[in-house]
């Protein structure tokens, strides 16, 4: 009876709408019941506002002390109007002084006190305190460096160095939108570039972690028992949020494409099963190798697009040889209008749900066109060939889940970020959404559009 009920397109559309409503409500309640830090995004370092120290200044924590001399440049990092980080660059002739001392039980063969001169230090902690320090009174510790011209400030260098600070923030991605959890006032996060020790990372919470090229310490803090950063529940909450967002996006596609039936058509033409299996495995391995190559060597987008086109030439030759029509892969007008509407609607929904804020404009850059072309060719291979063949041989759902899962694993393990459950859930969510549109519409053009929009939206939308 239930199967007969769902055979009606109107009923399927209504059920998809109900699932979408429930999932959206789940997204809403997961967010509104979360701690304040859950949805904080887009930490911005403002290199247009530069300060310098008018006097010596030092800061001390349980196991580390840093001192900077007069004339040190300070570049603040803002989040929603509050300073959450500062980059300090001392004068070349007076580098910053760093000293660290650790309990003998954990220091091992290290000396009692470790000292070094700092070329620069990046400090992320107690952001409420920095709003009091960074004031332009003219006679305080920090003065606005108006006499420093724009040409004298190494903007490109500063931007590159400040990117290292993001590594000290716990981050998770929701469909390409990176969100940073800000440190709490009880947490110390430091990154320093020493002349002798090299790059030093210092973390102080319930655990004390110090990492340098020559040594690494990790021990329990003797006084802090509760872990402040990241919050204990944030990982679970983020996973639940992303799951609801994925279900909502998929059910939205099902609602828009509710009248389309998922039914396989009989294939015209003969082809070798074993040869095609080898080609299928080879295509996935090629996709993984090219993704890793793109991340490691970062070739031009045109070169990347050409490399994604290469295996598609083989697919075209194989399809012509075995008399497979372009409509077999989804290159047709059937389902195109519905698919395009679903692609645009889902992209807007994910953009709003992933970034936690309303957009304020678009940053259109035509240099992104080759990136979009590379994504289009990639989806043509991964979906139009891999998912289509598996769907034809086994079952449409098998093609959806096998290829979506494989591409999510490839994305995480060949990507620039850390390998973990949150990046995997995020990549799997995006992959399932793109694959599900192909599953519903059987239209490769609409699927490519959705993938391109999801890939470029975090870059071109300003929040």
- Provide the pLDDT for residue 242: 93
CB atoms within 10 A of CB 50: 20
Report residue 226 as tokens: 């509760």
* Confidence bin at 178 (pLDDT 50/70/90): confident
Contact call for residues 197 and 214 (beta carbons, < 8 A): yes
- Provide the pLDDT for residue 151: 66
Contact call for residues 415 and 446 (beta carbons, < 8 A): no
pLDDT (tens digit per residue) in 246-286: 999 999 999 998 755 666 655 555 667 788 888 899 999 99
Longest dimension (CA), the chain: 84
Closest-CA residue to 425 (of 259, 166, 239)? 239
Q: Which residues pair with 77 in a beta bridge?
A: 45, 85
Closest-CA residue to 68 (of 52, 84, 50)? 52
Length of the chain: 463
Contact call for residues 91 and 180 (beta carbons, < 8 A): no
d(C-alpha 324, C-alpha 309), whole Å: 19
d(C-alpha 205, C-alpha 190), whole Å: 12
Contact call for residues 145 and 52 (beta carbons, < 8 A): yes
Of the candidate ranges 136-145, 268-277, 418-427, the one whose mean pLDDT is the lowest: 136-145
Q: Which residues pair with 217 in a beta bridge?
A: 210
Entry pTM: 0.77
pLDDT (tens digit per residue) in 352-394: 988 877 887 888 888 889 999 999 999 999 999 999 999 888 8
Choose from 86-95, 140-149, 151-160 the range with maximum mean pLDDT.
Answer: 86-95
pLDDT (tens digit per residue) in 286-311: 999 999 998 888 888 899 999 999 99
- Provide the pLDDT for residue 160: 62
* Confidence bin at 156 (pLDDT 50/70/90): low
pLDDT (tens digit per residue) in 12-69: 788 888 889 999 999 999 988 887 667 665 555 555 667 787 788 888 888 999 998 8
- Provide the pLDDT for residue 150: 63
Domain parsing of the chain, residue ranges: 2-35+233-462, 44-220
- Provide the pLDDT for residue 312: 94
More confident residue, 231 or 457: 457
pLDDT value at 332 more than 50: yes
Cα–chain-centroid distance for residue 282? 28
- Provide the pLDDT for residue 158: 63
More confident residue, 335 or 244: 244
Of the candidate ranges 122-131, 199-208, 429-438, the one whose mean pLDDT is the lowest: 122-131
pLDDT value at 137 more than 50: no
Percent of the chain with pLDDT over 90: 31
The reply to whether omega before 343 is within 30° of 0 (cis) is no
Of the candidate ranges 142-151, 278-287, 316-325, 385-394, the one whose mean pLDDT is the lowest: 142-151
More confident residue, 455 or 43: 455
The H or E element spanning position 200 is: strand 198-204
Closest-CA residue to 424 (of 415, 437, 433)? 415
- Provide the pLDDT for residue 462: 79
Contact call for residues 133 and 59 (beta carbons, < 8 A): no
- Provide the pLDDT for residue 34: 80
Mean pLDDT of the chain: 83
233 φ, ψ (degrees, to nearest 5): -95, 0
CA-based angle 349:352:355, to the nearest 5? 135
Q: What average pLDDT score do residues 95-108 get?
A: 87
């Amino acid at each position: 009876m239930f199967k007969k009920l769902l055979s009606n397109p109107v009923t399927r559309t209504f059920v998809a709408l109900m699932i979408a409503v429930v999932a959206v409500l789940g997204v809403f309640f997961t967010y509104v019941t979360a701690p304040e830090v859950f949805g904080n995004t887009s930490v911005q370092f403002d290199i247009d506002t530069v300060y310098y120290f008018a006097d010596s200044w030092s800061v001390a924590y349980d196991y580390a002390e840093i001192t900077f001399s007069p004339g040190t440049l300070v570049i603040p990092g803002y989040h929603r109007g509050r300073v959450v980080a500062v980059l300090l660059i001392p004068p070349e002739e007076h580098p910053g002084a760093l000293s660290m001392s650790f309990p003998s039980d954990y220091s091992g063969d290290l000396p009692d006190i470790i000292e070094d001169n700092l070329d620069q230090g990046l400090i992320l902690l107690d952001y409420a305190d920095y709003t009091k320090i960074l004031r332009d009174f003219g006679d305080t510790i920090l003065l606005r460096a108006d006499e420093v011209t724009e040409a004298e400030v190494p903007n490109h260098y500063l931007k590159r160095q400040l990117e290292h600070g993001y590594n000290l923030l716990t981050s998770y991605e929701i469909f390409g939108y990176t969100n940073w959890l800000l440190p709490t006032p009880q947490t110390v996060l430091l990154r320093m570039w020493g002349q002798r020790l090299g790059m030093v990372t210092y973390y102080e919470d319930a655990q004390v972690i110090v990492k340098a090229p020559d040594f690494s310490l990790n021990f329990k803090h003797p006084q802090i028992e509760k872990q402040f950063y990241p919050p204990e529940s944030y990982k679970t909450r983020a996973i639940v949020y992303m799951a609801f967002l994925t279900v909502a996006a998929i059910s939205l596609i099902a609602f828009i494409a509710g009248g389309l039936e998922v039914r396989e058509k009989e294939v015209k033409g003969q082809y070798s099963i074993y040869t095609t299996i080898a080609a299928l495995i080879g295509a996935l391995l090629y996709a993984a190798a090219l993704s890793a190559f793109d991340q490691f060597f970062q070739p031009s987008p045109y070169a990347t697009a050409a490399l994604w086109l290469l295996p598609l030439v083989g697919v075209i030759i194989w399809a012509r040889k075995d008399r497979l029509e372009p409509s077999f892969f989804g290159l047709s007008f059937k389902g195109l209008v519905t698919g395009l509407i679903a692609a645009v609607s889902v992209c807007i929904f994910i953009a709003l749900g992933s970034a936690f804020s309303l957009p304020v404009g678009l940053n259109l850059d035509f240099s992104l066109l080759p990136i979009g072309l590379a994504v289009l060719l990639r989806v043509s291979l991964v979906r139009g060939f891999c998912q289509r063949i598996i769907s034809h041989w086994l079952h449409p759902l098998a093609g959806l889940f096998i290829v979506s899962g494989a591409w999510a694993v490839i994305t995480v393990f060949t990507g620039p970020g850390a390998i973990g459950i949150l990046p995997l859930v995020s990549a799997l969510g995006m992959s399932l959404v793109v694959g599900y549109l192909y599953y519903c519409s059987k239209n490769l053009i609409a699927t490519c559009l959705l993938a391109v929009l999801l890939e470029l939206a975090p870059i071109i939308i300003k929040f």
